[in-house]
């Protein structure tokens, strides 16, 4: 395995971690108005992700930084061509952060409703737009010989990518509902479990349609797994298992299986792209690959040493924070409830 492949794999791992972790706190934010009956319930829901949401976003920052340093041409083409969707994601994440951090700073029902709206919109919009962006990435976009994106916003808002956005939005919401079932007060947990069972059917419908579109419009399935198509099928099996386990009240395993659905889907995307990083719809000669988009070998080797030293430290710290805040958030833990 060469150094370019190692860095591509590391960036893939960072995005896998981001979508798994941020997926459930996006889902929690999306479901805030649907599982909370009063202000104490809303505080419980927010507190389930309170210690984690900002740390989860570090995975995205690290992935972007690694992409910039290891594959600058990929970074330049992606962030210029996808500028508006990525800008909207950034604005939404800022709104969500404001909602989380400042909700309790002012007393008043109106202010809290405004903060809650910011949390919901700031969770739903990125959950949708990440699906749009990733679907366009694997489908291919118009990239010319100078590595410049030659499309526009309407190029990105095609039916296939919009369907991908609906898939990511629905799967993240389901993932968040099952996370709440593990972390929230018993009444909210039971509401979340019932909501997860209701969400599963529309999510399954759009996922099946997306599965068919992906097979017909991309070459991902022919390139995924030692036996082509095994990983997409395994992802679908995990998705089906989530509702079975939720009905059996094997709640932790239900959460694990939705997480594995997200992980496997992201692996399918990155493995299907390899060695490309951005396929061009104008012809294979214009594809960006891990070789024509990369930094110098010296840069990649130096950064690898840094990553080997610091990434385990970050993982240990984040794992420790999840262990410390592993208990359910109950009404008794909310001051003044």
Q: Name the packing angle between helices 3-35 and 297-324 (round to 10°).
A: 30
* Lowest mean pLDDT across 19-23, 130-134, 321-325: 321-325
Q: What pLDDT sits at residue 226?
A: 55
2: three-class secondary structure by DSSP: coil
Sign of CA dihedral 323, 328, 333, 337: positive
For residue 264, pLDDT over 90 is answered with: yes
How many angstroms separate the CA atoms of 84 and 151, rounded? 12
- Contact predicate 135/115, CB 8 Å: no
Q: Is 283 helix (H, G, I), strand (E, B) or coil?
A: coil
332 has pLDDT over 60: yes
Token code pair at residue 70: 């290891």
The torsion region of residue 327 among left (phi > 0), alpha (psi -120 to 50) and beta comes to beta
Q: Six-digit token pair at 296?
A: 């110098």
Predicted pLDDT of residue 93: 94
Tell me the C-alpha to C-alpha distance, in Å, between residue 157 and each of 37, 87, 210. 36, 15, 15
Range 65-87 average pLDDT = 92
Mean pLDDT of 264-281: 91
Most confidently predicted of 12-16, 186-190, 284-288:
12-16
Mean pLDDT score across all residues of the chain: 90
Residue 224: per-residue pLDDT:
60
Under the banding of pLDDT at 50, 70 and 90, the label for residue 228 is: low
- Rounded mean pLDDT, 198-209: 93
Q: At what angle do helices 109-139 and 159-183 cross, to 10 degrees?
A: 130
């990435």: which residue's tokens?
A: 137
Higher-confidence residue of 115 and 331: namely: 115
* pLDDT band, residue 225 (cuts 50/70/90): low
Range of the domain at 322: 3-333
Compute the average pLDDT of residues 184-188.
88
Residue with tokens 């979340």: 192
DSSP three-state, residue 160: helix
Evaluate whether 176 touches 30 at the Cβ level (below 8 Å).
yes
Which pTM value belongs to this model?
A: 0.93
Rounded average pLDDT over 261-272: 92
Check if the beta carbon of residue 115 is closer than 8 Å to that of residue 132.
no
Picking from 200-204, 286-290, 328-332, which range would have the lowest pLDDT averaged per residue?
328-332
| Number of domains the chain is built from | 1
| pLDDT for residue 250 | 94
Gyration radius of the chain's alpha carbons: 20
């Amino acid at each position: 395995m060469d150094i370019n492949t190692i860095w591509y794999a590391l960036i893939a791992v960072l995005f896998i971690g981001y979508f798994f972790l941020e997926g459930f706190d996006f889902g929690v934010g999306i479901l805030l108005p649907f599982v909370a009956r009063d202000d104490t319930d809303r505080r419980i829901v927010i507190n389930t992700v309170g210690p984690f949401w900002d740390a989860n976003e570090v995975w995205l920052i690290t992935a972007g930084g690694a992409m910039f340093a290891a594959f600058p041409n990929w970074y330049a083409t992606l962030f210029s061509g996808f500028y508006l969707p990525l800008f909207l994601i950034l604005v939404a994440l800022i709104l969500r952060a404001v909602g989380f951090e400042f909700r309790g700073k002012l007393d008043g029902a109106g202010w809290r409703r405004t903060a809650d709206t910011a949390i919901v919109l700031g969770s739903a919009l990125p959950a949708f737009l990440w699906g749009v962006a990733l679907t366009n990435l694997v489908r291919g976009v118009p990239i010319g010989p100078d590595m410049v994106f030659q499309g526009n916003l309407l190029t990105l808002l095609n039916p296939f990518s919009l369907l991908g956005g609906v898939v990511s939005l629905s799967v993240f919401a389901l993932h968040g509902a099952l996370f709440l079932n593990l972390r929230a007060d018993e009444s909210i947990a039971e509401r979340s479990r019932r909501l997860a069972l209701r969400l599963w059917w529309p999510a399954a419908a759009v996922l099946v349609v997306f599965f068919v579109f992906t097979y017909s419009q991309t070459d991902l399935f022919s390139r995924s797994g030692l036996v082509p198509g095994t990983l997409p099928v395994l992802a679908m099996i995990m998705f089906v298992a989530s509702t079975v386990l939720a009905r059996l009240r094997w709640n932790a395993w239900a959460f694990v299986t939705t997480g594995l659905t997200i992980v496997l889907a992201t692996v399918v995307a990155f493995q299907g792209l390899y060695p490309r990083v951005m396929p061009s719809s104008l012809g294979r000669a214009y594809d960006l690959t891990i070789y024509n988009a990369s930094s110098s070998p010296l840069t990649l080797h130096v950064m690898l040493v840094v990553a080997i030293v610091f990434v385990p430290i970050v993982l240990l710290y984040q794992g420790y924070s999840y262990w410390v805040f592993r208990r359910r958030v109950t009404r008794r833990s909310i001051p003044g409830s």
